[in-house]
Each structure stands twice: as structure tokens, then as C-alpha cells.
Amino acid sequence: MNTIEIEDRLGITFCKRQEVAVERGEGSYVWDEDGKKYLDFTAGWGVTCLGHSHPVITQAICQQAKKIIQNPNSGFTYSPSRARLLTVLSKLLPSGLTKLYFANSGAEANDAAIKLARKITRKSKIVSTLGSFHGRTFNTLSVSGGRDNTEKYLPSLTENRFVPFGDKEKICSMVDSETAAVILEPIQGEGGVRIPDSDYIAFVAKLCKKNGVLLIIDEIQTGFCRTGKFFAIEHSPEDIEPDILTMGKGIAGGFPFAAFAVSERVDRQINKGDHGGTYCGNPLGCAVATSVITYLDQQDIAGRVARIGRGLLEQLKLIALKYPQLIVSTRGQGLLCAVELKSDEIVAELTQACMEKGLLVTPTRNRVVRLIPSLLVNEDELKAGMYLLDLALTSVVQNQGVK
């Protein structure tokens, strides 16, 4: 049996997989078991921010693995690797965030943020937004306002409330003294790369402060230079000081890792035993994250992303003009871009057509195909990606007879 047959027979499958078995990758490209080459504009949902097999990552893994991978008694002991990461990352955090804790995934970081917010405030109400996505644990699904929700598993949590993303009036009517926290993505990723007005996050921050409500900012997909700033809230014309900031995906360039940072106000109310985890802040993950974050900072990757991302968006706008029968709009910030199509069926067809042409893209909710290339993608690779996307769109028009 080949790879696909083995996985279909023995593995639990929670999604429809593409018929490609990826064996290796380098930079912006991956190769399947048969040697076919694909241009990767998914970055593993934004995880492989430096591309595939970058020496910064592979060297960090090898060097740290020769020392120690997991500490004895895990978090009960100190770690030089963890201390180095704390030092590097603390210098890059938005103002007001003073303490960090490391986790295994973005969902785990968000789960902990929600749990701690309820513990600290002694309130249960969480306000989130429609179209949001914060993870697949029960706690994070309960504040994710998309298609996936807790109703499949247990009755919905009635204390959670949802408002339209970007709607100042609606969130004002929902946030009150009984609210524990508001959780927001600066740009909705799974919701379809939805970008609010530039003053929206600052407005919500002031609203939270006025009502004594904690503000949780979910930078899991938007952080670490993805949008052209180190963190997406830095696009705001005013300084944003969240109470809790969650991070993941690009933080370690493909190694499973995440974190959350808290304000002094929150830290004062966290007690020993309030949270924990076996692998949280393990030396190997910390070493990789330190190397990735240092590279992003020293090479000014945020500035590079802002510059090259503008070019990508311009190319997408030109492509959209060629296919008005398929494309509703294009949008993006940095190297997090969306092509909104006229139906979810077209999204599926286009995703398949792109793969057949040698381009991997990410199908997303709300009739969107996301383009999330490596932050190190070069201009020639972007041009190649747009060429393959153009071919795929032509194929959809021809095969389906779209008028």
C-alpha cells in the first residue's frame, strides 16, 4: 500500500484530504513521493514562516537536541533555553505585557487565556465575534463564531456572546460589567481574512478598560511579521495594551509551539497551580522559537513582508479583473491574503485546480481561498504563484462552463 492508502485505512480522518503525499520541502516548494514539485502558498496554515527546512530551524533543532529535549520535572526546573527565549521575545512584545508562558499550540494558549480570565474576574461571560476562530478545544470552540461550534458536542455555553466583527455599536451593547473578557483577532483568518477599520481594536480596548473587562488579543495567525508588523495590533494608529496576547503558528517556524503574554495586572492575580503542562516551554521548542524570532527581528522580515505583500495584493487585483464571473473581491494585509469567490463550490474546484497546476492554497470559510506563503517568498515565486493561479482559474472557467 502507498502512503495515501495506509493513512486512509489506519488513520482517523476529520477532514477531506488532498490527494498528495508530501515527502519533503525546501524554501517555498514541496515535493510529493513521486517527485512532483509544488509551490506552497499555505505555509502550513501560516506556520512555516521561514519556508521549509530553513537552516535557522534545522540547526537549532540539532544543536539543542544534542543537549536536552525535555527537562526533568518539566516546568518545575529552570531552563537556560527558556530564559533565552523569554529575553528575546519580551523585547518585542507590545507595551504593557510583562510576563510570558509557553504552550504547545494556539488553541491551548487561547484555552488558558479564557480560563484565566474567568478565574481572575470571577465572571463567566466572554464576548467574541461572528466569523472568529480561536481553536478546537471545547473552550475555544465555544468562543469561535463560525461553522464549527460546541453544539455538536454539548449544549452551547449560554454565557458566551457574539457580535459582528468590526461593528462598534454592537460590541458596545454587549460588553458590560458582567463580562469577563473580550477575545478578538486583529484580522480574522479562518473567517476569510476580514480586516476591520484601523481604529476598531483601539475602540474595543477603551471599551474594555471602561468596563473593567479583560482584553484577549489572538495573534496566533497574524503575529510574527505575517501582516507586515511584528504583531498585527501594531497597525493601529493608537497603542493597544491587551491584558492577554496569545501567539502561535509562526512563533517557531513549523515546530509545534505557542505562548501567551499577560499584563502586570493579570500576572498579579495568577497563582501557583492555576495552569500547567508537560511540554510547556520545553528546551527544544524554546531553542527553535528563539532562533526563528531572532532571525525575524534582525532581518527586518516585517518590513520585507509589508513591501512584498503590497505587490502580491496588486497582482491579485489584476487577476480579479480577468475573472469577474468567479471572483467577488481580493483583500489582504502583508502576506495574509484572500480571494473571495462566488460560492464555496468554486473554492473547492479552484483549490483542486491549483493543486493540479502545482500550487497549494488554503480553502477557507466564507467562500475564500487564502494565500499564506512563506515570509521569505521572493518576487519570482510570487509571479510564479500568480501565473499558476491564473491557469487554475482558467481551468475552472473552462471545465465548469462558468459564465
| 127 contacts: CB under 8 Å, gap ≥ 6 | 160, 161, 162, 163, 171, 174, 175, 179, 181, 182, 183, 213
Distance CA 32, CA 181 (A): 44
The confidence score (pLDDT) of residue 146 equals 64
Distance CA 298, CA 303 (A): 11
The confidence score (pLDDT) of residue 13 equals 74
The confidence score (pLDDT) of residue 200 equals 98
Q: 8 or 195: which carries more pLDDT confidence?
A: 195
Q: 214 or 6: which carries more pLDDT confidence?
A: 214
Pick the CATH number of 56-296 from 3.40.50.12590, 3.40.640.10, 2.40.160.10, 2.60.40.10: 3.40.640.10
The mean pLDDT of 45-54, rounded to a whole number, is: 97
SS (H, E, C) 371-385: ECCCCCCCHHHHHHH
Judged by DSSP in three states, 241 sits in coil
Q: Is the pTM of this model over 0.85?
A: yes
**Alpha carbon of 307 to those of 229, 338, 378, 401: distances in Å?**
11, 17, 11, 37
> Could you tell me which residues are beta bridge partners of residue 261?
100, 245
185's enclosing H/E stretch is none
Note whether 118 and 124 are within 8 A (CB): yes
Distance CA 338, CA 327 (A): 11
Note whether 221 and 192 are within 8 A (CB): no
Q: Does the pLDDT value for residue 63 go beyond 60?
A: yes
Distance CA 170, CA 162 (A): 9
Q: Cite the beta strand spans of 312-402 per DSSP E.
A: 327-333, 336-341, 359-360, 362-364, 368-371
Could you give phi then psi for residue 205, rounded to 5 degrees? -60, -45
Distance CA 394, CA 346 (A): 12
Q: 321, exposed or middle or buried, with CB in 10 Å at 0-12, 13-18, 19+?
A: exposed
pLDDT, tens digit, 9 for 90 and up, residues 318-361? 999 999 999 999 999 999 999 999 999 999 999 999 999 999 99
